[in-house]
């Protein structure tokens, strides 16, 4: 980026320079006054100081959430009343979508048009769970003349919600919506790279009429605030989204407390393109699948497996299209790939780009885009002829980098697709109905899209297998996770 372009770049009006916790209905600093730097991913300069939460702050937040759970009205409201509050939250998010997108894009480096889509989806998540909780029914089982048994569903208590930095606001809504809809109270610990948008929840919730103490927010590092939340004895369940390695650690740390855990973890998802596929559609979708959201998408189709008879044509067309993906300022509506979230993550992604040059054939990108000498900008990068044991085939890069590998038979495609520790998503492109469904049946992935972009239906289960996660959220699975289902037996 040139100095002039950088100087004329718009910065959101009233950009906060101080980001606080929100505990028991009030914004507050850390007990010890500690803060951490929040960086602008375009310049990597510090633009705000965020409160660095520690155990003492988590203790305060959990105590407030616990009081709101044991003494407050929220868990005792009928679903319709809670649903009304959730719908008001959705209305407020929708009405503020432009501001939310502006702040999210500035903080995370996501392209503004995509940040806007994510803000709207956050509203949709609240609306979905507001409707679901009203429609919720529970089973009754009759033993004629002898017994009537029914399920008594109850909120569990204080839910600990720990979220990552990619699409932060939307992913927070994915946990907040069902946790609140079911009558729990919450402590949210957002990712330290992107704390800006989380603080907007407080005003939205207050205006929507969520009772005091139901929502609490503690910023801070994972090893401090996150760790204290996981180890707090009054937090019976943790919903975590993040890296598989962090998930393992949280699993171990929560074990002595026997907590309920939902783990949405990393991925290295395959997109499999058979020779009979609609190549135009497959290319468009696989470009979108790995380069949208800056490639910082858990379900990114970051390994593309292509049948050998169409391999050369696919690689040539794919590389040409990837080279046309527009890298730019996050705030620019024409931008398709913005700035990666943080210099640490930029260095990680760039190290894979360099590694890839020895592991595959570079056919597009391969470094910083021209005109962007600073900031976390990476060219959409494509490696062809990548062997299955290559690190760029096996490891999650979480950036705009894709590995393409040829295959000959359906069996080989399946073996390659399953040949990683991850199992989050898979995308299959073929016009053979039998093959599509057989492949879906056998591929080790929590979610499969057949001849389709990554479009979610909020009623379906969301989650991974293998190192990509444990448990599922989405639709009734979320309601199940955030509630106890007590069985009540009556002798007639």
Contact call for residue 118 and ligand NAD (CB under 6 A): no
* In the complex, least distance from residue 75 CB atom to ligand NAD, rounded to whole angstroms: 25
Stretch that binds ligand NAD, among 22-30, 66-74, 222-230, 349-357 (CB under 6 A): 222-230
Site for ligand NAD in 167-186 (CB under 6 A): 171
**Which CB, 307 or 376, lies closer to ligand NAD?**
376
As beta bridge partners, residue 87 has none
* Rounded-to-integer distance, Cα 265 and Cα 470, Å: 8
Q: Smallest Cα–Cα separation from 261: which of 242, 276, 283?
A: 242
**Which CB, 154 or 248, lies closer to ligand NAD?**
248
**Which CB, 153 or 297, lies closer to ligand NAD?**
297
Stretch that binds ligand NAD, among 16-24, 54-62, 245-253, 330-338 (CB under 6 A): 245-253
Contact 10, 42 (CB under 8 A): no
In the list 40, 57, 227, 336, the residue contacting ligand NAD (rule: CB under 6 A) is 227
Size of the site for ligand NAD (CB under 6 A): 31
Site for ligand NAD in 185-214 (CB under 6 A): 189, 191-192
Q: Is 264 a catalytic residue?
A: yes
Which residues are within 8 A (CB) of 76 and not within 5 positions of it... i.e. 6 or more apart? 183
Which residues are within 8 A (CB) of 297 and not within 5 positions of it... i.e. 6 or more apart? 166, 167, 289, 290, 454
Site for ligand NAD in 421-460 (CB under 6 A): 424
**Which CB, 57 or 227, lies closer to ligand NAD?**
227
Question: Residue of minimal CB distance from ligand NAD?
Answer: 222
Q: Smallest Cα–Cα separation from 119: which of 146, 142, 99?
A: 99
**Which CB, 81 or 223, lies closer to ligand NAD?**
223
Write down the catalytic residue from 172, 264, 359, 396: 264
Q: Which residues form the interface with ligand NAD (CB under 6 A)?
A: 162-166, 171, 189, 191-192, 221-223, 226-227, 230, 241-243, 246, 249-250, 264-267, 298, 396, 398, 424, 464, 469
């Amino acid at each position: 980026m040139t100095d002039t372009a950088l100087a004329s770049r718009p910065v959101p009006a009233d950009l906060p320079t101080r980001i606080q916790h929100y505990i028991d209905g009030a914004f507050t600093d850390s007990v010890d006054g500690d803060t951490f730097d929040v960086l602008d991913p375009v310049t990597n300069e510090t633009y705000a100081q965020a409160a660095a939460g520690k155990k003492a702050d988590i203790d305060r937040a959990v105590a407030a959430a616990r009081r709101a759970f044991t003494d407050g009205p929220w868990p005792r409201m009928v679903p319709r009343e809670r649903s009304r509050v959730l719908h008001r939250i959705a209305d407020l998010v929708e009405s503020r979508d432009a501001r939310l997108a502006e702040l999210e894009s500035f903080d995370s480096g996501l392209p503004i048009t995509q940040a806007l889509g994510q803000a709207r989806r956050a509203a949709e998540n609240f609306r979905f769970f507001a409707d679901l909780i009203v429609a919720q029914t529970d089973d009754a089982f009759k033993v004629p003349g002898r017994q009537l048994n029914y399920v008594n569903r109850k909120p569990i208590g204080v839910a600990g919600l720990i979220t990552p930095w990619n699409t932060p606001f939307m992913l927070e809504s994915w946990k907040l919506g069902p946790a609140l809809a079911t009558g729990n109270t919450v402590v949210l610990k957002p990712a330290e790279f992107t704390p800006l948008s989380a603080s907007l929840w407080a005003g939205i919730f207050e205006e929507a009429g969520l009772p005091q103490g139901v929502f609490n927010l503690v910023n801070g590092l994972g090893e401090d605030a996150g760790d204290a939340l996981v180890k707090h004895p009054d937090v019976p369940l943790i919903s975590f989204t993040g890296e598989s390695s962090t998930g393992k650690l949280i699993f171990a740390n929560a074990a002595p407390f026997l907590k309920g855990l939902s783990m949405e973890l990393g991925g290295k998802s395959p997109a499999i393109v058979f020779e009979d596929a609609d190549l135009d559609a497959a290319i468009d979708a696989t470009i979108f699948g790995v380069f949208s959201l800056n490639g910082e998408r858990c379900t990114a189709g970051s390994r593309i497996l292509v049948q050998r008879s169409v391999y050369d044509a696919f690689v040539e067309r794919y590389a040409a299209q990837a080279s046309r993906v527009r890298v730019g300022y996050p705030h620019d509506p024409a931008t398709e790939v913005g700035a990666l979230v943080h210099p640490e993550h930029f260095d990680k992604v760039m190290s894979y780009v360099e590694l890839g040059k020895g592991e595959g054939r570079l056919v597009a990108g391969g470094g910083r885009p021209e005109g962007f000498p600073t900031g976390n900008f990476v060219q959409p990068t494509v490696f062809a002829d990548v062997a299955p044991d290559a690190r760029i085939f096996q490891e999650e890069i979480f950036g705009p980098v894709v590995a393409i590998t040829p295959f000959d038979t359906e069996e080989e495609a399946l073996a390659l697709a399953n040949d990683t520790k991850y199992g989050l998503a898979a995308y299959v492109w073929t016009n053979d109905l039998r093959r599509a469904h057989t492949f879906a049946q056998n591929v080790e992935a929590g979610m499969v899209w057949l001849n389709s972009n990554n479009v979610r239906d909020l009623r379906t289960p969301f989650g991974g297998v293998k190192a990509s996660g444990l448990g599922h959220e989405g639709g009734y699975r979320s309601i199940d996770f955030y509630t106890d289902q007590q069985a009540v037996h009556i002798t007639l």
